[in-house]
């Protein structure tokens, strides 16, 4: 439901009952069922067989479901990953248009076989290498498959490829992340990354880090963030939603701009700030985002209530 709202996208390991069985209670917008790096080689096959039931477990609380497959094992992984209820397949370490297109073709075949509207499962190329970062535009335009949002170009694997120690006090991924975000925006996708927030400790479990991250992303107009620990969920969901003040201001701007238009003007002032078409469009986007978040939150509440009833 409404997979545009992905304020907190959290990885979950299907092979660990402690994680997968509780995921629905955590309140995340999206869970990524991981077959890749969090799964030990000896556990891969068992993990594949758990994906279908894990979809039903993880989305009980109204979350959307993505599946991260293994680049070297796409043929083995995809038959276990493409099911109704999956919104997105994540292809790690994508570096070329050819490999993206190939995965698109396999998904297309599986969609047809499994009663899924062809082309509706998103295919997200994870950009985790310099080669992927420079080839991003060709990758994104190589298959006729929808993709609402796109980000990346940083993270652990990119650090390996760049030969850097992570968690410096400055933006170590300035070009690759911006290049990916620019390509996404040029193709009318929402950018999901490209905002630097220092994390000198390198820890992935601290809620205050999530709060800072959400604040920086929100200020930049980005509404998506990833998480590796449940402590990130609440700060990200809250921090990336439109605030009551923002919603009230957006209503005022739209009303002021409507008045200007009625008077035949295009630029005016409101509380000392310029009101024009740009600000009006921005206000409309804020309200649209607020409505999307409200719908997602209401959906999650209803789903959570149903799940709790079923459990009791």
Partner 1 sequence: MIKQDETRDLTLAGDSPMPKYIRRSVLALSIDDTQLGDKAYASYADAIILDFAKKANVDWQAESKARMPMAIHAASRGAAEVFVRVGCDGVVAELESVVFSGIAGVVVKGVTTAADVTAVASVLDSLEVSRGIPRGTLEIDIEVDTAGAVWHALDIARASERFGAFYINEPALCKNLGMQTTATLAFDPLEYIKSQLITVAISVGGQALGMSYPLSLTHDKVDDDTVKKAVRIARDTGFKGALCAHASWIKHCNAGFCPSPEEAAYYVKVIDVFAEGLKRGMASVPIDGKMIDVPVDLRAKLYLKWANRVQARNEAKAVAHR
What is the rounded distance in angstroms from the CA atom of residue 4 to the CA atom of residue 148? 7
Sheet holding 88-91, edge to edge: 122-125, 88-91, 64-68, 30-34, 9-12, 226-227
Please state, in angstroms and rounded to a whole number, the distance separating the CA atoms of residues 58 and 16. Answer: 12
Task: Determine if 228 is a binding residue for partner 1 (CB under 8 A).
Answer: yes
Kind of pairing between the strands at 190-191 and 122-125: unpaired
- Please provide the DSSP assignment of 228-258 as one string: SSGGGHHHHHHHTSPPHHHHHHHHHHHHHHH
76: contact with partner 1 by CB under 8 A: no
CB 207 within 8 A of CB 237: no
* 204 interacts with partner 1 by CB under 8 A: yes
Residue from the set 54, 59, 94, 129 that interacts with partner 1 by CB under 8 A: 129
Closest-CA residue to 235 (of 261, 210, 259): 210
Confirm if 180 and 150 have CB atoms less than 8 A apart.
Answer: yes
> Binding of partner 1 at residue 50 (CB under 8 A)?
no
Q: Whose Cβ is closer to partner 1: residue 62's or residue 132's?
A: 132
Site for partner 1 (CB under 8 A): which residue of 147, 162, 197, 295?
162
Choices 33-41, 55-63, 96-104, 276-284 (CB under 8 A): range interacting with partner 1: 33-41
* 179 near partner 1, rule: CB under 8 A: yes
- The residue (of 62 and 191) whose beta carbon lies closer to partner 1 is 191
- How many residues touch partner 1 under the rule CB under 8 A: the total is 42
| Residue 10 and residue 22 in contact, taking contact as beta carbons nearer than 8 Å | no
Which of 1, 160, 186, 291 contacts partner 1 by CB under 8 A? 160
Region binding partner 1 by CB under 8 A among candidate stretches 113-121, 187-195, 196-204, 293-301: 196-204
- Residue 207 binding partner 1, by CB under 8 A: no
Q: Is 173 within 8 Å of 166 (Cβ atoms)?
A: no
For 279, the token pair is: 């600000």
| Alpha carbons 222 and 187: distance in angstroms, whole number | 16
Contact range with partner 1 by CB under 8 A, out of 48-56, 176-184, 238-246, 304-312: 176-184
Query: In the window 271-310, what residues touch partner 1 (CB under 8 A)?
Result: none
Q: Kindly list the residues in this chain that would bind partner 1 in the complex (CB under 8 A).
A: 13, 15, 36-43, 129-131, 133-134, 155-157, 159-165, 168, 170-176, 178-179, 201-206, 228
């Amino acid at each position: 439901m409404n997979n545009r709202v992905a304020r907190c996208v959290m990885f979950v390991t299907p092979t660990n009952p402690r994680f997968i069985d509780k995921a629905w209670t955590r309140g995340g917008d999206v869970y990524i069922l991981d077959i890749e790096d969090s799964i030990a080689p000896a556990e891969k096959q068992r993990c594949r067989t758990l994906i279908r039931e894990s979809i039903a477990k993880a989305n009980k609380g109204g979350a959307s479901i993505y599946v991260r497959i293994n680049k070297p094992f796409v043929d083995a992984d995809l038959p276990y990953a493409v099911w109704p209820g999956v919104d997105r397949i994540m292809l790690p370490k994508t570096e070329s248009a050819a490999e993206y297109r190939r995965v698109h073709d396999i998904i297309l075949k599986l969609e047809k076989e499994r009663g899924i509207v062809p082309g509706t499962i998103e295919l997200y190329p994870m950009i985790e290498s310099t080669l992927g970062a420079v080839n991003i535009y060709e990758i994104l335009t190589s298959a006729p498959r929808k993709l609402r949002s796109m980000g990346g170009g940083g993270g652990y694997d990119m650090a390996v490829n760049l030969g850097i120690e992570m968690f410096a006090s400055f933006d170590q991924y300035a070009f690759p992340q911006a290049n990916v975000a620019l390509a996404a925006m040029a193709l009318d996708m929402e950018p999901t990354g490209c905002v630097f927030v220092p994390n000198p400790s390198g820890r992935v479990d601290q809620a205050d880090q999530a709060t800072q991250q959400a604040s920086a992303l929100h200020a930049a107009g980005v509404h998506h963030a990833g998480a590796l620990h449940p402590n990130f969920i609440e700060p990200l969901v809250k921090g990336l939603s439109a605030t009551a003040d923002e919603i009230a201001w957006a209503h005022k701007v739209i009303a002021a701009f409507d008045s200007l238009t009625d008077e035949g003007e295009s630029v005016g002032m409101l509380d000392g700030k310029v009101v024009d078409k740009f600000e009006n469009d921005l206000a409309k986007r804020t309200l649209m985002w607020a409505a999307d978040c409200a719908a997602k939150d209401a959906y999650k509440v209803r789903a959570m209530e149903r799940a709790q009833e079923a459990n009791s």
